[in-house]
Chains A and B, each alone.
Chain A
Amino acid sequence: MLLGYLFEALKNKVVAEQYLVDIFNELQFSDIQAISKPGVNTFSQLQMMARKKLTSFSRAADECADADGKLKDLVIIGNKFIDLMSAEQQMVFCGVHYHGKTTTGLAAQLSKPEEEIKRILKESFIIIRKQRNDTATVHR
């Protein structure tokens, strides 16, 4: 799953694999203990580590939006959750999730209040949750 996330963010399988190997190789014993504690979502913690590592790359990589704030045509291809989002939601979700941007940074970039960015991000998660619940109902 982590490789899938890295591949989506980096758009290069070889580089994504190298990042995956580096992330696991850089894990200290204390990190392993921290992420495997009861009640802690291990994947989520690993994804946060990956996102930190990607930050330097993300700044140099393609942005989700053009300089004028217009959404690019191909943000993430084949992700059904992102496809369900509006252009604005995609821009915020993609910027935060794949490009490691902060809500403050996005607010400045899009000339919107930070609360508005958080609201848009929350709406994106509502879409994901709805999709997750629908999938669960179908499988049930």
Chain B
Amino acid sequence: MIQLQYIDSGILEAYVTGSATDTEVKELMYMKAKYPEVNFALQQLELDMEHIAQHMAVMPPAGTWDKISNTIDELVLRGEYDPKQFTTDARDNNYHNFKTDNSPHFIAVESESNHMKVHKNWKWVLAAVFVLGKIFLGCAIYFYLENRQAQQQVQELKTELKQLKK
């Protein structure tokens, strides 16, 4: 039987290990769809590959999922929408006779939400700005007090000099 010969040819093994040529892949897809035996053999080989991988599985480090989920969260699934077909009255195409349902007749251009979405990376930027702001504020207070103290000392020295001159 041709399907058994095909299974024995080693093309299925080449496919699951990614070493099959484009022509072989096309041929395999055809054989898979046509012969359930080929499909079953391919599924078994995929399970073999999965079995090897299970044996050598490594637990991902703690932060790996966060790195992946940051991107996945940005993918928003769009709900399925089946638009109604446009139909008119064949006898009279006058616009007064167009049948419309109660669905909205305009496209909402402006978003209803007042919130703005920003990338998660901005939280680190904002945190850095906040910390730097605190550092600058601390420095300003420190130098202001230093300056005031220095001025007082100068004033005292001037007073002392005046008294000495007298």
Contact = CB atoms under 8 A, between A and B. Distances in A.
29 contacts: A1-B53, A1-B57, A4-B53, A5-B56, A7-B58, A13-B61, A20-B60, A20-B68, A21-B68, A25-B68, A41-B43, A41-B46, A43-B46, A43-B49, A44-B16, A44-B49, A44-B50, A51-B18, A80-B55, A96-B19, A100-B18, A101-B19, A103-B14, A103-B20, A121-B14, A125-B13, A128-B52, A129-B44, A135-B51
A43 B51 CA distance: 11
A114 to B, nearest CB: 9
Chain A residues touching B, range:
35 or more
B45 A118 contact: no
A121 B17 contact: yes
B interface, how many residues as a size bin? 35 or more
Contacts of B129: none
Contacts of B60: 3, 17, 20
B111 interface: no
B142 to A, nearest CB: 42
Given A29-B75, A125-B48, A79 B55 contact: yes
Interface of B: 8-11, 13-14, 16-21, 43-58, 60-61, 64, 67-68, 71-72, 75, 77
Contacts of B10: 103, 115, 118-119, 121-122
Contacts of A118: 9-11, 13-14
A124 B13 CA distance: 9
Contacts of A48: 18
A109 to B, nearest CB: 13
Contact of B50 (A1, A100, A101, A122): A1
Contacts of A80: 55
Given A17-B60, A79-B56, A132 B48 contact: yes
Interface string A27-46: 00100000000000101100
Contacts of B53: 1-2, 4-5, 43, 47
Contacts of B45: 125
B76 to A, nearest CB: 10
A129 B13 CA distance: 12
Given A21-B68, A24-B71, A44 B14 contact: no
Contacts of A96: 14, 17-19
A81 to B, nearest CB: 5
Given A44-B16, A102-B21, A4 B47 contact: no
Given A102-B19, A121-B13, 11 more contacts: A1-B50, A1-B56, A2-B53, A13-B58, A21-B68, A25-B68, A43-B53, A78-B56, A96-B14, A118-B9, A122-B13
